[in-house]
Amino acid sequence: MIVLWLLFLLLTAPLTSLAEKQAAGQDFNHMTTGFVLSGGHAVAACETCHVGGVFKGTPRNCAGCHAVGVRILATPKSSTHVVTDAPCESCHFNTATWLGARYNHGTAVPGQCVNCHNGRIAQGKTSSAKHNSTIGQNSCDSCHRTSAWLVTGYWNHTNNALYTYSGVNCVSCHSPSGIANEKVQSASHMPLTMGGLTFPDCRSCHTNFTSFGAARYDHVGASACTTCHNGTYSGVAGKTAGRHVTYTGTPECSACHSTTTWSSKLSSTTLHTTYFVGQTCQTCHASNSLISGAKKDDEHGGRYNTGVPDCSSSGCHAPLGGKGSAYTDWD
Ligand code: HEC
Ligand code: HEC
Ligand code: HEC
Ligand code: HEC
Ligand code: HEC
Ligand code: HEC
Ligand code: HEC
Ligand code: HEC
Ligand code: HEC
Ligand code: HEC
């Protein structure tokens, strides 16, 4: 009934003033149409939308009015607007202002991100090394999700539209000029050509894509241990100064160690009679000794540290003394 009344009112519009029409119209509860008049719509005159007094079938979608060449005159996209065919509703969530638009990426087509993300319409790719590599760069979604530009935790090495995994080309990205230029070898990374060995394949030590930290090395055929285990390369174990035993000669690490663990494999007797000859027992066995693996004094309360003769030459412990058996037992 109200509708019919209003229709009558508006159809007879020429007879009444605009102000009267408006005033009468304000009584109509527009909510009942399901098209809430908010923001810029609340202050717009009824006629701007109901041109010629037509009510039924007035467009409800933004583009039905906010476009060029439609019956209703409402602000269309400007010439500098984001080039897109997506419905206005997917970016414009209110009728008060066009500013602060957010793009709902739910409908974004993979591979076409650059249509918007070209630095003009929306954030484009930056000029950093991350984007300078030769691999295709326009499919932003090959490397980026739509929620954030960070790739950490998202980058997929083995199933990437741009990157066909061939295994050995890690440096094409993991180099200062590559896209993963924050995850590159440090200055103290072990050289990849050393001691007659070459490592073209990073995977010989880096067997996962989660961390470079847990490097493993397959020692099959390895000799010249000190080429690598000299304490100068990042993450490659060397002798810890002050903690490692001092030994006679220049044997390779392999004289005492296996390639699977640093816990000595030599018998205690061989160690003492071949490599520790001539050193006083306290060098390693005193309570304040830092030598890893050497038994510390737990019987003497540290007394022999203060100038008492050597444990063995004093005539107490074997081999020169009577207590225990040489290098295997103190008592
Ligand atoms: C921003 C645009 C806009 C403005 C301004 C506007 N309307 Fe509407 N109106 C609509 C839309 C959209 C519909 C829904 C049309 C449909 O679904 O068929 C509608 C529906 C109606 C209907 C119901 C038509 C029907 O038969 O279902 C009436 C009556 C109406 N409007 C009256 C008014 C009056 C009076 C004013 C001024 C106070 C007004 N409208 C202002 C957009 C507008
Ligand atoms: C039935 C036609 C119609 C529909 C549908 C419609 N609008 Fe409007 N809108 C208008 C008219 C008319 C105005 C007032 C004139 C103008 O500012 O363009 C307006 C004004 C606005 C304004 C205020 C602009 C300003 O600077 O004050 C915004 C924002 C807006 N509309 C957004 C939207 C959005 C978003 C949608 C879809 C969710 C939408 N409109 C749907 C007709 C419509
Ligand atoms: C992909 C997202 C997106 C879609 C879809 C979209 N817009 Fe926009 N629109 C924007 C962005 C982003 C801005 C800039 C907002 C800002 O400056 O804060 C904008 C600004 C505007 C502006 C004000 C500045 C200008 O460039 O004109 C108008 C008017 C506008 N949009 C209308 C529309 C209309 C009408 C539609 C649908 C036909 C539409 N937009 C669809 C993202 C979109
Ligand atoms: C229709 C245009 C359009 C398309 C297509 C599009 N975007 Fe966007 N995107 C936008 C707009 C607009 C914004 C918000 C304004 C801005 O950041 O410049 C945005 C924001 C973003 C953001 C920043 C999110 C945030 O909250 O910081 C990311 C990331 C993004 N888009 C990724 C993508 C990816 C990936 C694709 C392809 C799958 C894509 N976009 C496709 C328009 C688009
Ligand atoms: C081959 C992979 C790749 C592609 C394709 C790619 N990016 Fe990136 N992008 C990166 C990486 C890696 C980062 C660094 C992210 C980090 O620090 O976590 C990055 C960072 C960014 C950032 C953050 C600013 C910065 O430089 O750190 C923006 C913005 C960005 N990309 C936009 C884009 C856009 C837009 C596209 C598509 C036109 C694109 N990217 C395509 C790999 C890519
Ligand atoms: C096409 C480029 C590309 C290639 C090729 C590539 N990566 Fe990556 N890699 C990345 C990107 C991008 C990241 C994420 C970087 C970031 O989070 O800043 C990454 C991250 C990693 C990480 C995680 C680092 C960390 O600390 O989070 C490891 C480990 C890794 N890559 C190993 C490898 C290995 C091993 C190879 C060769 C078999 C390889 N990658 C080849 C691009 C590549
Ligand atoms: C012979 C073994 C070996 C090879 C081959 C190797 N790495 Fe490493 N890499 C290591 C070790 C050991 C570390 C240190 C791990 C740690 O800190 O726990 C390391 C660490 C890294 C790191 C972290 C930063 C640093 O320097 O500590 C990156 C990045 C890295 N390697 C990249 C590469 C790339 C790329 C290749 C192939 C060109 C490669 N690595 C080949 C053994 C190797
Ligand atoms: C080409 C370099 C290289 C040579 C030569 C080499 N290693 Fe290694 N070794 C590594 C790397 C890299 C690792 C892994 C990082 C680490 O744990 O120090 C490693 C690890 C080890 C480990 C620790 C294993 C574990 O699981 O904790 C032992 C023990 C070891 N090497 C002993 C040796 C011995 C003994 C030799 C000589 C026969 C030798 N290595 C020769 C590079 C080398
Ligand atoms: C003469 C024998 C001998 C030689 C040669 C030798 N070590 Fe050791 N190393 C030992 C003994 C004994 C220990 C203590 C074992 C234990 O803790 O059980 C040890 C312990 C270690 C440890 C563990 C110490 C700690 O702080 O965790 C490392 C690492 C190690 N050696 C590295 C090396 C490297 C690298 C070389 C070659 C440059 C090497 N060693 C050569 C005898 C030797
Ligand atoms: C250069 C360091 C060093 C010197 C010098 C040294 N030892 Fe040792 N000693 C060790 C280490 C390391 C072990 C442990 C070896 C092992 O784990 O098999 C050990 C083990 C022993 C053990 C066996 C302990 C047990 O409970 O298993 C005895 C006994 C022993 N030493 C006696 C002596 C005597 C006596 C002297 C002096 C004549 C001496 N050592 C000199 C480093 C040294």
Peptide bond into 319 cis (omega under 30): yes
Quote the CA–CA distance of 117 and 222 in Å, as a whole number. Answer: 51
Could you say which ligand is closest to the alpha carbon of residue 151? 5
Query: For residue 197, which atom of ligand 8 is closest to its CA?
Result: 1
All structural domains of the chain with their residue ranges: 2-58, 108-184, 185-238, 241-331
| Ligand 6 site-directed mutation target among 137, 166, 173, 208, most atoms within 8 Å of CB | 173
Quote the CA–CA distance of 253 and 262 in Å, as a whole number. Answer: 9
The one-letter code for the residue type at 62 is C
Query: For residue 57, which atom of ligand 1 is closest to its CA?
Result: 18
Handedness of CA 51, 54, 59, 60 (dihedral sign): positive
Quote the CA–CA distance of 312 and 326 in Å, as a whole number. Answer: 9
pLDDT in tens, the chain (331 residues): 344 334 434 443 433 333 444 444 557 899 999 999 999 999 999 999 999 999 999 999 999 999 999 999 999 999 888 777 888 988 898 999 998 888 878 777 777 888 888 887 788 888 776 776 555 556 788 788 888 888 777 777 765 555 555 555 788 778 887 778 888 999 999 888 766 667 767 888 888 888 999 888 888 888 889 989 999 999 999 999 888 999 999 999 999 999 999 987 789 999 999 999 999 888 888 777 778 777 665 677 656 555 667 888 888 889 999 999 999 998 8
Phi first, then psi: what are they for 167, rounded to 5°? 95, -45
Model's pTM, two decimal places? 0.71
> Token pair of 1, please?
């009934």
If we measure between CA atoms, which residue out of 123, 117, 155, 120 comes closest to residue 139?
117
